[in-house]
C-alpha cells in the first residue's frame, strides 16, 4: 500500500495511539491490570442512575426515541441541546451567547482536530503557522492532531517549588512571545497531565496577549467548569469573542457518547460546523439527548459540584497522602493537585528514563503514562521530560491504592539500585 503524506503521518507511531492501544490491549488481555494510564472517568452510581433514568425515558417515548436514533442532526448539532447549553452558560456566567455561538462535535478531541487544522498549518499565502502551547506539559491528544509536521510551538513553564514535595507550573510570561507564525494559543484548564489549574491572572494574561496579537485563545475545559467541574479551588471561567472554549460531556460520565461542545464566535462556530459536516456529516445525538434535561434544569451543575468533584478531590487527597507516605526519603515531587484526575509525579535524578519505569510497571501489571509524551513542540533538550509520570486516580479506591504501592515500590528499588 502506498500511503499519502496524510496516511504516513496518521499511521506512524503516535503517543495517543500507543496509549489507547495499551489501554485496549490491557483490557482485552483478561489479565488483572491496574489501569492508572487513561483518562477514563470513574463510575459514580448517582451519575449513572441519572443517565439510566433519562435513557429509559428516551426509549419509552416513541417521538424522542426516533429523534435519538432516526434523525441526522444539523451540522451544528442537536438544536435543543445547543439552545439549552447557550441559556445555561448565560444564566451561570452572565455571558451574552446566542445559539450561533455553540457547536457540537463527536467528542472534544474531534473539535481540536478541526480547530487546530482550520487555524494552523500552511496558509493561503504560503506562510506556515503553528498552534502555540503557552505552558507544557500539555495534553497528549494534541500532539499528533496536526495534518502537517512541526505543528506546535511550546513554552517551558516556570516552576514554583511548594514545601518539600509539591510544585506548580506557571506560564512564564517573560519568555512567552506570540510571533507571526502563531495561529492560536491553546491551554487545558485543568491541565491534563498535571492537574494544574491556571490562575485567573494567568488566563487573563493569555487572553490579553491573544487579543493584542490577533490570534484566538483556545481553552480546553474538558475537566473544567461548569461541568464536570473537577476543580478543587477557585477558578473563574472566561469567554469573549476571541476565546474558543471547548467543553465535553466525557468526564461527567459519558465518554462513550462522544459529545464535545465548542463555544466561540459565530464565525468560528460556522467554520467548525461546516468542517464537521464534511468529516462526520452529523454529530451523534446520544450525549446531547441524554444530558438535555439536566442542562435545562441546571441539575448538571449540582451533580458536578456536589457529587462528582468531591469524589475526585477525595481520591486525589488519598493518592497524595499514600504516595507521600510510601516515597518518604526519596527525591520526589507531586504537582499540586488542583483538578482533573491525575497526579503528575516528578522524580528528579531518576536513574532510568520514565519510559523504562513505565515498562517496568507494566510488567508488574500497573499502567501509567510516561511523561515524555506531554511535551509537544518543545525545542531543545530538557531532562525534566524524562523524569515525570502521570498517574490516573479515577478508578476504584482499592485498585488505586494497590497501584500506588507497586509504583512506589518500583521507584524505591530504582533509586536504591541506581541502575
Q: What are the residues whose beta carbons fall under 8 Å from the beta carbon of 296, sequence distance 6 or more?
A: 84, 87, 88
340 exposure class (CB count in 10 Å sphere: 0-12, 13-18, 19+): buried
Of these, 15, 42, 107, 157, which contacts ligand PLP (CB under 6 A)?
A: 107
Q: How many residues bind ligand PLP (CB under 6 A)?
A: 14
Q: Name the region of 345 (left: φ>0; alpha: ψ -120 to 50; beta: rest).
A: beta
For the record, the C-alpha cell of 40 comes out as 477514563
Q: Which is nearer to ligand PLP, 142 or 167 (CB)?
A: 142
The Cα–Cα gap between 137 and 100 comes to 33
Is the CB of residue 279 less than 8 Å from the CB of residue 265? no
Q: How far is the CB of 222 from ligand PLP (least distance, A)?
A: 4
Does 250 bind ligand PLP (CB under 6 A)? Our answer is yes
376 exposure class (CB count in 10 Å sphere: 0-12, 13-18, 19+): buried
Does 42 bind ligand PLP (CB under 6 A)? Our answer is no
The Cα–Cα gap between 179 and 21 comes to 36
Does 224 bind ligand PLP (CB under 6 A)? Our answer is no
Does 283 bind ligand PLP (CB under 6 A)? Our answer is no
N-term to C-term CA, the chain: 43
Measured at CB, which residue is nearest to ligand PLP? 107
CA dihedral defined by 77, 108, 204, 158, rounded to 10 degrees? -170
Q: What are the residues whose beta carbons fall under 8 Å from the beta carbon of 263, sequence distance 6 or more?
A: 85, 89, 97, 101, 102, 239, 244, 245, 246, 247
Q: Which stretch binds ligand PLP (CB under 6 A): 102-110, 235-243, 344-352, 394-402?
A: 102-110
Q: How far is the CB of 87 from ligand PLP (least distance, A)?
A: 22
Q: How far is the CB of 244 from ligand PLP (least distance, A)?
A: 13
The Cα–Cα gap between 41 and 36 comes to 11
Q: Which stretch binds ligand PLP (CB under 6 A): 53-61, 170-178, 224-232, 247-255?
A: 247-255
Of these, 220, 232, 312, 336, which contacts ligand PLP (CB under 6 A)?
A: 220
Of these, 108, 155, 372, 392, which contacts ligand PLP (CB under 6 A)?
A: 108
x-marked contacts with ligand PLP along 134-153 as a string, rule CB under 6 A: -----x-x------------
Does 222 bind ligand PLP (CB under 6 A)? Our answer is yes
Which residues from 21-40 bind ligand PLP, rule CB under 6 A?
39
Which residues from 169-198 bind ligand PLP, rule CB under 6 A?
188, 192
- Catalog residues that contact ligand PLP under the rule CB under 6 A: 39, 107-109, 139, 141, 188, 192, 220, 222, 248, 250, 255, 260
Amino acid at each position: 500500500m502506498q500511503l499519502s503524506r496524510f496516511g504516513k503521518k496518521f499511521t506512524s507511531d503516535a503517543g495517543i495511539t500507543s496509549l489507547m492501544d495499551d489501554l485496549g490491549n490491557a483490557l482485552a488481555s483478561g489479565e488483572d491490570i491496574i489501569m492508572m494510564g487513561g483518562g477514563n472517568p470513574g463510575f459514580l452510581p448517582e451519575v449513572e442512575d441519572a443517565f439510566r433514568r433519562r435513557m429509559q425515558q428516551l426509549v419509552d417515548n416513541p417521538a424522542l426515541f426516533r429523534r435519538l436514533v432516526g434523525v441526522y442532526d444539523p451540522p451544528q448539532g442537536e438544536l435543543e441541546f445547543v439552545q439549552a447549553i447557550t441559556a445555561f452558560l448565560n444564566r451561570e456566567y452572565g455571558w451574552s451567547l446566542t445559539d450561533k455561538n455553540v457547536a457540537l462535535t463527536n467528542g472534544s478531541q474531534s473539535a481540536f482536530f478541526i480547530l487546530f487544522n482550520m487555524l494552523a498549518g500552511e496558509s493561503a499565502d504560503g506562510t506556515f503557522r503553528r498552534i502555540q502551547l503557552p505552558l507544557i506539559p500539555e495534553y497528549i491528544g494534541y500532539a499528533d492532531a496536526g495534518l502537517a509536521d512541526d505543528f506546535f510551538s511550546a513554552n517551558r513553564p516556570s516552576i514554583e517549588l511548594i514545601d518539600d514535595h509539591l510544585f506548580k507550573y506557571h506560564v512564564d510570561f517573560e519568555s512567552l512571545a506570540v510571533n507571526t507564525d502563531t495561529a492560536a494559543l491553546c491551554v487545558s484548564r485543568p491541565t491534563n497531565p498535571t492537574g494544574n489549574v491556571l490562575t485567573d491572572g494567568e488566563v487573563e494574561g493569555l487572553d490579553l496577549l491573544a487579543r493584542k496579537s490577533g490570534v484566538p485563545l483556545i481553552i480546553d475545559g474538558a475537566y473544567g467548569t461548569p461541568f464536570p467541574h473537577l476543580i478543587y479551588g477557585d477558578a473563574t471561567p472566561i469567554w469573549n469573542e476571541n476565546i474558543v472554549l471547548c467543553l465535553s460531556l466525557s468526564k461527567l460520565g459519558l465518554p462513550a457518547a462522544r459529545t464535545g461542545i465548542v463555544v466561540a464566535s459565530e464565525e468560528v462556530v460556522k467554520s467548525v460546523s461546516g468542517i464537521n459536516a464534511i468529516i462526520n456529516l452529523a454529530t451523534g445525538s446520544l450525549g446531547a439527548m441524554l444530558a438535555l434535561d439536566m442542562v435545562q434544569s441546571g441539575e448538571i451543575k449540582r451533580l458536578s459540584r456536589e457529587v462528582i468533584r468531591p469524589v475526585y478531590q477525595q481520591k486525589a487527597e488519598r493518592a497524595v497522602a499514600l504516595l507521600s507516605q510510601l516515597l518518604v526519603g526519596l527525591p520526589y515531587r507531586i504537582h499540586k493537585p488542583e483538578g482533573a484526575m491525575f497526579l503528575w509525579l516528578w522524580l528528579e535524578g531518576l536513574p532510568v528514563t520514565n519510559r523504562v519505569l513505565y515498562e517496568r510497571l507494566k510488567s508488574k501489571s500497573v499502567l501509567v503514562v510516561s511523561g515524555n509524551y506531554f511535551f509537544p513542540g518543545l525545542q531543545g533538550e530538557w531532562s525534566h521530560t524524562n523524569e515525570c509520570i502521570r498517574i490516573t486516580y479515577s478508578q476504584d479506591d482499592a485498585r488505586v491504592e494497590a497501584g500506588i504501592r507497586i509504583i512506589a515500590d518500583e521507584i524505591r528499588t530504582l533509586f536504591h539500585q541506581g541502575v
